[in-house]
């Protein structure tokens, strides 16, 4: 058995996308949608830990491994990309609520943009482990062809529909456009559960579509975090006061109401990063 948080592999899979494989302790077992806080420095710059969502949970004999899929976007992730097999990382977590993985027979619709596929893949894989027949559709893409990645891996868990904003590969348009197209062309079943991760604007448009077409969904939010464990109160997400939809599997929320109860903030690190697609106050979040 290897020591916790040892790096087993750290590879560049495409452009600035990397995948790191780590040995982790047996407990607690992370759930899809949860995240780890990784120290990406041994100095004070970069200073804060960086949050990374669980991409895959793997069991190998007596060892438990995880994979994290990440995009090199700054000093912290650049440091992480240079770490090598055999080195150790300073990690806290897993933190946050996981996705509620629907145990029914509903088909699953995954909608991702860019690195947003990282936590969603684990939802698909989790379902696939127990149910080989369940329909899983994956809408994924990026701004242009050169930015798309990971389609062949995703094809192992579901049917992939690719999009690019400029039409250089797959459907010409963005994820919400592709979803409308597929729904209108009846290429998707009438009833499905949506799991989405990507830029705020995409999630907001998906929330509008969830009302228009009447489907349920969960989203994973991304935000700068100070601590990751509910102490700094940096990562607030505004909710709709009249439509708070907390799952019983999620912990007691740390909601902060305004005195007149017209405003309510949740903590993404504690109450999220997974939210019901309609409980988020998207106008306030995107303002």
Partner 1 sequence: MNGMPDLSVQIGRLILKNPVMPAAGTFGYGHEYEQFFDLNRLGAAIVKTITLAPRVGNFPHRSVEVPSGFLASIGLQNVGIERFIQEKLPYFDTIETPLIVSLGGQSIEEYVKLAERLNVQKRVDALELNISCPNVKKGGMHFGSDPQVTRELVTRVRDVTDKTMIVKLSPMVTDIRIFAEISQQCGAEAVSLINGLAGMSIEIKTRRSRLGRNATGGLTGPAIKPFALYLVRQVYNTVDIPVIGLGGISSAEDAIEFLIAGASAIQIGTFNFVDPTITLKVIDGIEAYLTQNRIGTLSELIGSLLEGGIGGSDA
Residues engaged in binding partner 1 (CB under 8 A): 39, 44-49, 92, 223-238, 256-259, 263-265, 284-285, 287
* Between 213 and 250, CB nearer to partner 1: 250
Q: Which helix (H) or strand (E) holds 175?
A: helix 175-184
* Between 133 and 261, CB nearer to partner 1: 261
Closest approach, Cβ 201 to partner 1, in A, equals: 14
Closest approach, Cβ 272 to partner 1, in A, equals: 12
Tokens of 265: 């903030």
Cα distance between residue 164 and residue 142, in whole Å: 5
Closest approach, Cβ 286 to partner 1, in A, equals: 9
First-to-last C-alpha distance (Å) of the chain: 49
* Between 105 and 256, CB nearer to partner 1: 256
* Between 109 and 225, CB nearer to partner 1: 225
Cα distance between residue 143 and residue 136, in whole Å: 23
* Between 32 and 228, CB nearer to partner 1: 228
Helices 200-213, 175-184: crossing angle, 10 deg rounding: 20
Closest approach, Cβ 29 to partner 1, in A, equals: 17
**180 strand-pairing partners:** none
Judging by DSSP bridges, how do beta strands 216-220 and 193-197 pair with one another? parallel
Question: Contact, 70 vs 18, CB < 8 A?
Answer: yes
Closest approach, Cβ 246 to partner 1, in A, equals: 18
Closest approach, Cβ 220 to partner 1, in A, equals: 16
* Between 270 and 278, CB nearer to partner 1: 270
Neighbours of 205 (CB within 10 A): 18
Cα distance between residue 68 and residue 152, in whole Å: 17
* Between 48 and 139, CB nearer to partner 1: 48
Closest C-alpha among 160, 209, 167 to residue 184: 209
Closest approach, Cβ 160 to partner 1, in A, equals: 31
Cα distance between residue 208 and residue 28, in whole Å: 36
């Amino acid at each position: 058995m290897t020591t916790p948080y040892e790096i087993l592999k750290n590879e560049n899979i495409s452009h600035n996308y990397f995948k790191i494989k780590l040995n982790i302790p047996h407990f607690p077992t992370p759930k899809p949608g949860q995240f780890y806080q990784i120290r990406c420095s041994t100095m004070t710059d970069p200073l804060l830990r960086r949050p990374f969502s669980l991409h895959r949970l793997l069991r190998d004999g007596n060892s438990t491994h995880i994979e994290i899929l990440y995009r090199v976007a700054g000093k912290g992730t650049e440091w992480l990309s240079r770490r090598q097999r055999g080195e150790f990382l300073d990690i806290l977590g897993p933190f946050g609520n996981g996705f509620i993985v629907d145990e029914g027979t509903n088909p699953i619709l995954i909608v991702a943009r860019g690195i947003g596929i990282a936590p969603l893949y684990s939802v698909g894989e989790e379902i696939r482990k127990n149910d080989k027949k369940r329909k899983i559709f994956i809408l994924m893409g990026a701004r242009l062809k050169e930015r798309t990645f990971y389609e062949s891996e995703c094809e192992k868990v579901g049917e992939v529909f690719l999009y690019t904003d400029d039409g250089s590969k797959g459907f010409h348009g963005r994820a919400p456009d592709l979803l409308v197209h597929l729904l209108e062309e009846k290429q998707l079943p009438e009833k499905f559960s949506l799991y989405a991760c990507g830029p705020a604007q995409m999630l907001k448009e998906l929330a509008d579509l969830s009302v228009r077409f009447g489907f349920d969904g969960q989203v994973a939010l991304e935000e700068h975090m100070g601590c990751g464990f509910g102490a700094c109160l940096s990562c607030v997400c505004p909710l709709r006061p009249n439509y708070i939809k907390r799952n019983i599997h999620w912990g007691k929320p740390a909601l902060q109401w305004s005195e007149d109860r017209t405003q309510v903030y949740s903590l993404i690190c504690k109450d999220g990063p997974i939210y019901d697609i309609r409980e988020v106050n998207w106008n306030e979040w995107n303002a």
